[in-house]
Amino acid sequence: MSKDPVLVAHGGAWGIPDDMVEAHLNGVRNAIAAGWHALSHGGSAADAVEEAVVIMEDDDAFDAGRGSFLNREGKVQLDALIMDGATLRAGGLGCVEHIRNPIRAARKILSESPHVYFVAEGAERFAAEHGIPLCKNEDLIIPREVERLREFQSRTSEERADLFAPTISHDTVGAVALDRDGNIAAATSTGGTLNKAPGRLGDSSLIGCGCYADNESAAVSTTGWGEPIMKLVLAKWSADRVFAGNAPQWVVLEAMEYLKNRVAGHGGIILLDARGRFGIAHNTPRMAWAFKTTKEETSGIDRNA
């Protein structure tokens, strides 16, 4: 039986300043348009989340792809994961410095490799061997982020303590989708945190932490402070609660409470089940989000109910 498709995207959960709201809203709307085009032309849920995330990786407003935060050495290091709920196959990569759209490479890993995860040079070699062009790291760096890193590194150690505050930028991007065949998928992509140590991985590209999809439960993408999210394996935790019979919107609200109360974490989450029910929540001041169904298309910067 054919299902009505659904697509949900997020562009990061933090204290998005007023002068950046429109850029974030435009970014998630453009992502929805690209993903929906794939769904409406017979594409799979995995196709849809890949296309949606590519748009946000290419958008300088977000901490993914070009325009990402710089690490301690002034380089962009990117992580991404895509997961197919029908097969539980996944493709992930971490700490890549020469791939403009890591979600494209992640999709190649999902579809063309017996492995699930590649890192650093090995990930880049796999990508190049499978038709993904490599780029210079400088091509991923923009002046705004050079200045952001310079300003941060000029602070005292006491002044740097607020790096993981809810108001600090966490512009990780993600999408979840349901296709006409009733399958769901999830994708998440990030440049990580500002001034991170080289080689640091966050939650975004780790199965069950920042991304998860299983037709029997839910497709999930998270954003925010990665270390607390990893400790709770939050995406899988949330999917399991849908499997147990809880409604998606209830689950995402509970997930944000759990994140805050258990490990003093903050972030945001989108979740979609194979029935087309979805939830959106965050415990930060704002989160850019958008969704589209056959009957409705909406975007916003704040949603917790």
Residues catalogued as catalytic = 172
Give the separation between CA 95 and CA 200, rounded to whole angstroms: 7
Question: In the Cβ-directed half-sphere of 66, how many Cα atoms lie within 13 Å?
Answer: 13
CA dihedral 229, 179, 133, 105 (to 10 degrees): 40
DSSP the chain: -PPPPEEEEEEEEE---GGGHHHHHHHHHHHHHHHHHHHHTT--HHHHHHHHHHHHHT-TTSSSSTTPPP-TTS---EEEEEEETTT--EEEEEEESS-S-HHHHHHHHHHH-S-SEEEHHHHHHHHHHTTPPP--GGGG--HHHHHHHHHHHTS-TTGGGGGGSTTS----EEEEEE-TTS-EEEEEEE---TTPPTT---STTSBTTTEEE-TTS-EEEEEE-HHHHHHHTHHHHHHHHHHTT--HHHHHHHHHHHHHHHH---EEEEEE-TTS-EEEEESSSEEEEEEE-SS-EEEES----
CA-to-CA distance for 70 and 63, rounded, in angstroms? Answer: 10
Give the C-alpha distances (Å, rounded to integers) separating 74 from 13, 69, 140, 185: 23, 9, 11, 33
